[in-house]
Amino acid sequence: MIGQHTNEITATLDNETKELEIRQKFTYVNDSDEGLSVLYFNDWIHAYSNKKTALAKRFGEEFKRSLHLAKDRERGYTNLLSIVDEQYSGLGWKRVDNRDIIRVELSEILKPGQSIQLFFTYTVRLPNTKFTAYGFNPNGEFHLKDWYLTPAVYDNGWKLYDNIDLDDHFTDPTDTSINLTFPENLFLASNYVDTGLTNFPGGQFVRLTGNNRKNCEIILDKTKRFTKHMLNNLTITTDLGSNKYDEISQSISINKIAGFLTKNLGSYPHPNLLVSELDYSKNPLYGISQLPSFIRPYEEKFQFEMTFLKTAIHEFLKETIYLDPRADRWVCDAIGNYLMIKYVEDHYPNQKLAGKLSRLWGFKSFNLAKMEFNEQYGLLSMLAARKNIDQALDTPNDSLIKFNQKIANAYKSGLGMSYLAEYLGGQEIDSSIISFYKKHRLNQFVKASDFQKEIQRYAKKDVNWFFDEYVSTRKKIDFKIKKVEKSDDSLTFVIKNKRGTNVPISLYGLNKDSVISKYWFTGIDTSRTFTIPRNGEDRLVLNYDKKIPEFNQRDNWKTLNGFFSSNKKIKFQFFKDTEDPYYHQIFYVPIANFNVYDGVTPGLRIYNKTFLERPFQYDIAPTYSFNEKTIVGKAGFRYRKYHGKSGLYVSNYAFAGSTSHFQVNSRYTTITPSVAFGWRPDNLRSNRRQSLLLRYRSVFRNIDESIADQLDTEPDYGVLNLRFFDVDNDIINYTSWFLDAQHSSDFSKLAFELEYRTLFESNRQFNFRLYAGKFLRNRTDSDFFSFALDRPTDYMFDLNYLGRSEDSGIYSQQIIIAEGGFKSQLENPFANDWIVTTNASTNIWRWIEAYGDLGLMRNKGEDPRFVYDSGIRLNLVTDYFELYFPVYSNRGWEIADNDYGERIRFIVTISPKTLIGLFTRKWF
C-alpha cells in the first residue's frame, strides 16, 4: 500500500430534525497504478430517499411495502452543498443516476501515489429505523451506520455498490477521526475508540478514532445498555445479555469466546470490538433458537454463548478481512460457520438440536430430537437443494434469494469447511484459516483466491474438487452402495455416484452402533468397485457422520446380514419429522375440514412428507362427515422431477381424488390424473413463473332423490383441461395471465384471464382484471357448464366454496374471483356463448377501495347484454380476506334495498397452507 486515506469529520446531530450537519475533510491516496480523473463516493443514506432506489426495488421483490409507502419525514437523504479541493476550488459532482453513488470530477489527473484533499459540506437526513433498523426511532434513539460519504473501491475498475440492506458496504479502509456533537441524555456505544466525552448545556461532544477501518457505527440510546469487557489488549462493547444468566457468568463466557477466536483466527488488530443486539438481529441463529425465550429449549449458558459467538465472529471478520462482501462473501461465511461448528464440537459435543425438548416424552422418539446441534447446517442448506432453489456458493450476494442469502449458503459454506477438514483428517484447515487471517487481515485487496491458495498450501491431498465442484457449482452430492459381496476376510462392493459430482465420499463399517472402520474414496465418476478388509462389520454406511451435505441419505447403507434384514422397517409417527434414512416413515396428524353440508369433518391425515422435500409424496386424508354420517376426504400421489436451475425446471406427475357433498345427501367424487411443467428465468430472485397443466377430471355425482328432478345435466362427466399460466408476482407491479382450454363430450371452450396490480408513486393502488371466454361448441341445455358473472357453478370442483349450492344465506355471499368476477348478484348471470368482463378497483384511503365491473355477455339466439356494478371494497388482505359492499349496478341503487345485508359479499381463506404461503413467499 502506497499510503492510507485519511478522513476527518465534524458532525452535529439535531434531535428535532433528525439531521446531521457534516463537514468532512478527506485525503484520497491513489494507490492504484492508473491515473484517476474522477473519484466515486458511497452515499448509502440516499437509498431511503425515494421509491425508485435499488433498496426500494429490492424491498418490492421481497414483498415489503414500507419504503414505498413511507412518508417524506420517514425517509433519509443527503443534501450535498459543496465539494472543494485543497485550493478551495469548487469541483464538479453529480449523483450517478438515482444510485447511492456520488461522482466527483477532479480538476486534473490524480497520478499513482499522489493524494488530494477534498472538503465536503452536506446534511444527512436520517431514515426511520423501521426500514432497515438504521437511522432514528420514535423513542429519540439513533443507530448510525453507513451514514457519511466513503470512498468507493478502485480495483482495476470502480466497484460501485448500492445499499440494498445486505450489510455489505464496500469501501476503502481509512484512518478516521470524528468529532460528534449529539443531544444530551443519550448514551453512546461505537466500534471506534472513544477518546473522551464532554457534556455541555443541551448536548454532548465526543471524539472517535479508528485506524485502517471501514466505517464508524454509532448507537445512541436513552438507557445505558452497553457494558465494556476489558480483555488482553481488547475491549469488547456489548449489550447482548440474558436475564437468567448472571453478569459474572456472562463475562466468563465472553472471555472464553474471545480466547477461542484468538486461538482459531488470531489477535484482533483494533482496540474495540462492538457486539450489539441489533447486529445479532440482522444475522441471528436461525432455527429452533429463534423460538420465544419462554419456550427456548437451550440452557441459558449455551444460548448466550452461541448468540454472542455468532455476532462476535461476524463483526470480527467484517472489521478485519476486507474481502469484497458482495462478490466473495462465501469466504467469511465459510470461516465463520466453520468456527461455529468447531466451537460446539469443542465445548458442547453432546448438544442436541432440539435441546431440552429432546428429553420430553412424546418428542424424544422423533428423529429431530436425536439430531446433533451441528446437523442443522446440513438440514437447512439441504432445504434449498431439495426445492431446487439452491445457488452456488460464489454467487454474488445481491443475486441470492433471501433464504439462501440469510441461511442456506452460509450454512453450506461452513459445512463445506467441516467436510474438507474431515477429509484431510488433521489440522490442515485450522492452520490454513489462521495463516490466511495472519497474512491478509486489514489487506485492502484480499481475494477469495488468496483463501484458496492457503488451503491448497496446507492440504496434503488434492482439494481442487472443493473449489471446482462444491463452491463454484450447484451440483448435488449423492452416492449409494450396490452389490456387496462377502468373503471370509474381505468385503467387495460398488459405490455409485448418482449425480456425477466428483467429490470424496466416506464409508463407515459398523457393528451394531459402533464404528469399527472408516475409509475415504475418491475418483468415482459413475461407479467404482472397492474391496476392504472384513473386521466384523454388520453394516456399511456412507456418510455416517453426516459431514457431507448429501442430497439423499436414504440409500446410504447396506446390511451384511442377509436380504430381509436389509429391508427398512415402517415407522408410524405423529406429525412431520426430519428424514430418518433407516426407516420408511409414515406420518399422521388429526385434521378438520368444513363445508355447510358435511359440517366439521374431523379425520386423520396420513402422508410421507418430511421437512425436506422428496420426489414421491402421498397424502391421504379421510375425514368423517357427522352431518352425512359417512366418510369423505381426499387423497393424492405426486412425483416431482426437478431439472436445471432455469428454463424448464420442474415436472409434476400426479393422481388425485376427492369426495365430499355439494348438497344434502348428494355426493360428488373427482378422480384426476395430471401432468404439469414449470419454467422460471435465470435470475432466481425474479418472481416470474410459468407453468403448463394438462389434466383429465372425472366427476361422479350421487344425487338425493328429492332433488334428482332438479338436475338438468348428466350426473357423471369428464373434462380434459389444458391451462398455461404466466405469473410475475411483485408487491409493486403484479401481472398474471392464463389461457385455459376445456373439452368434454358436451362442450369445448376457451378462456383467457389477465390480472394486473400496480402501486403508484402517489401510493394509490390500481387493480385491473380482464376475463374473456368463448364456447367453441355447446350441446348442453343447462347453464351448469356456462360462463358465470359472479358465482361460477364450479363443475370442476376447483374452488373452495363453503356452501357451493347455496342461493341464499351467508354462505351464498361468499365470492371467489373467477370467470366474470362480478360482486353484485345480477339476474341471468350465465352466458352459454361468450363473455367479456373487466374488474377494476383503486384505493380511496388505505385499505378502503372503490371497485367497478363492466361486461358484455351473450347467450345463443340472443343479442349481447351489457352488465355493470360498482361499490366499496375493504381490501384487508388481498386474496385472503376482503369485503365487498355493492352500491350501484344493473339492479339500480342496491345500497337502498331493504335486503342490502344479503348483498354484501366476502372473500375468506381458511387453508393453513395458503395462509403460510403469504409469509414464506418473501424467503423463496
- The predicted-structure confidence for 386-401, as pLDDT tens digits, reads as follows 999 999 999 999 999 9
Q: Judge whether 433 and 264 are in contact, CB under 8 Å.
A: yes
- Strands, E, within 184-266: which ranges? 187-190, 193-200, 203-213, 218-221, 227-231, 234-238
d(CA 56, CA 66): 9
The residues pairing with 365 across neighbouring beta strands, listed in sequence order, are: none
CA 220 to each of CA 46, 181, 236: distance values in angstroms, whole numbers, following the listed order: 21, 12, 17
**DSSP symbol at 408:** I
Q: Judge whether 41 and 24 are in contact, CB under 8 Å.
A: no
CB burial class (10 A; 0-12, 13-18, 19+) of residue 88? exposed
Q: Pinpoint the residues of the chain covered by CATH 2.60.40.1730.
A: 1-223
Residue 596 has pLDDT above 90, yes or no: yes
- Angle, helices 409-424 vs 428-440, to 10°: value is 120
Q: Give how far the C-alpha of residue 769 lies from the chain's centroid of Cα atoms, to the nearest Å.
A: 29
Q: Tens digits of per-residue pLDDT, 695-723? A: 999 999 998 877 766 677 888 999 999 99
Q: For the domain 1-223, what is the CATH code?
A: 2.60.40.1730
Cell triple for residue 642? 426437478
User: What pLDDT score was predicted for residue 232?
Assistant: 84
Q: Judge whether 654 and 636 are in contact, CB under 8 Å.
A: yes
Bigger pLDDT: 69 or 187? 187
What average pLDDT score do residues 668-696 get?
96
User: What pLDDT score was predicted for residue 912?
Assistant: 62
**DSSP symbol at 475:** P
CB burial class (10 A; 0-12, 13-18, 19+) of residue 111? exposed
**How many of the other CB atoms lie within 10 Å of CB of 196?**
8
Q: Judge whether 786 and 821 are in contact, CB under 8 Å.
A: no
User: What pLDDT score was predicted for residue 892?
Assistant: 94
The whole-chain average pLDDT of the chain stands at 92
Residue 290 has pLDDT above 80, yes or no: no
Q: Tens digits of per-residue pLDDT, 866-876? A: 999 999 999 88
One-letter amino acid of 260: F
Residues 365, 366, 372: CA angle, nearest 5 degrees: 105
Residue 483 has pLDDT above 60, yes or no: yes
Nearest to 794 by CA among 915, 660, 890: 660
What average pLDDT score do residues 826-851 get?
94
Least confident of 358-372, 559-573, 750-764: 559-573
Banded model confidence at residue 103, pLDDT cuts 50, 70, 90: very high
d(CA 272, CA 275): 10
Find all residues with CB under 8 Å of 274, minimum gap 6, and list them: 189, 190, 191, 217, 237, 238, 315
Residue 622 has pLDDT above 90, yes or no: yes
What average pLDDT score do residues 132-159 get?
95
Residue 179 has pLDDT above 80, yes or no: yes
The alpha carbons of the chain give a radius of gyration, in whole angstroms, of 32
Q: Judge whether 437 and 429 are in contact, CB under 8 Å.
A: no
Cell triple for residue 312? 462476535
% of the chain with per-residue pLDDT over 90: 80
- 545-563 in b/e form (b: 16+ CB < 10 A) is ebbbbbbbbebbbbbbeee
d(CA 901, CA 904): 6
pTM above the 0.85 mark?
yes
Q: Tens digits of per-residue pLDDT, 900-909? A: 999 999 988 7
What average pLDDT score do residues 324-342 get?
96
Nearest to 548 by CA among 493, 610, 470: 470
Q: Judge whether 819 and 750 are in contact, CB under 8 Å.
A: no
DSSP 839-872: EEEEEEETTEEEEEEEEEEE-TTS--EEEEEEEE
Cell triple for residue 836? 367479456
Terminal C-alpha separation, the chain:
42
Q: Tens digits of per-residue pLDDT, 526-583? A: 999 999 999 888 889 999 999 999 999 988 988 888 655 556 788 999 989 998 888 8
What sign for the dihedral angle of Cα 191, 193, 196, 200?
negative
User: What pLDDT score was predicted for residue 1?
Assistant: 44
Banded model confidence at residue 2, pLDDT cuts 50, 70, 90: low
Q: Judge whether 480 and 470 are in contact, CB under 8 Å.
A: no
What average pLDDT score do residues 412-425 get?
95
**How many of the other CB atoms lie within 10 Å of CB of 1?**
11
User: What pLDDT score was predicted for residue 604?
Assistant: 96
Nearest to 469 by CA among 412, 427, 422: 412
> Which class is domain 479-567?
mainly beta
d(CA 801, CA 798): 9
What sign for the dihedral angle of Cα 182, 10, 228, 302?
positive
d(CA 532, CA 191): 56
What are the backbone dihedrals phi and psi of residue 684, each rounded to the nearest 5 degrees, phi first? -65, -20
Bigger pLDDT: 675 or 291? 675
Strand, helix or coil for residue 458: helix
Cell triple for residue 630? 359417512
Residue linked to cell 403484479: 734
d(CA 167, CA 325): 9
Nearest to 15 by CA among 121, 131, 142: 142
Bigger pLDDT: 691 or 483? 691
Cell triple for residue 441? 487481515
Q: Tens digits of per-residue pLDDT, 654-664? A: 999 999 999 99
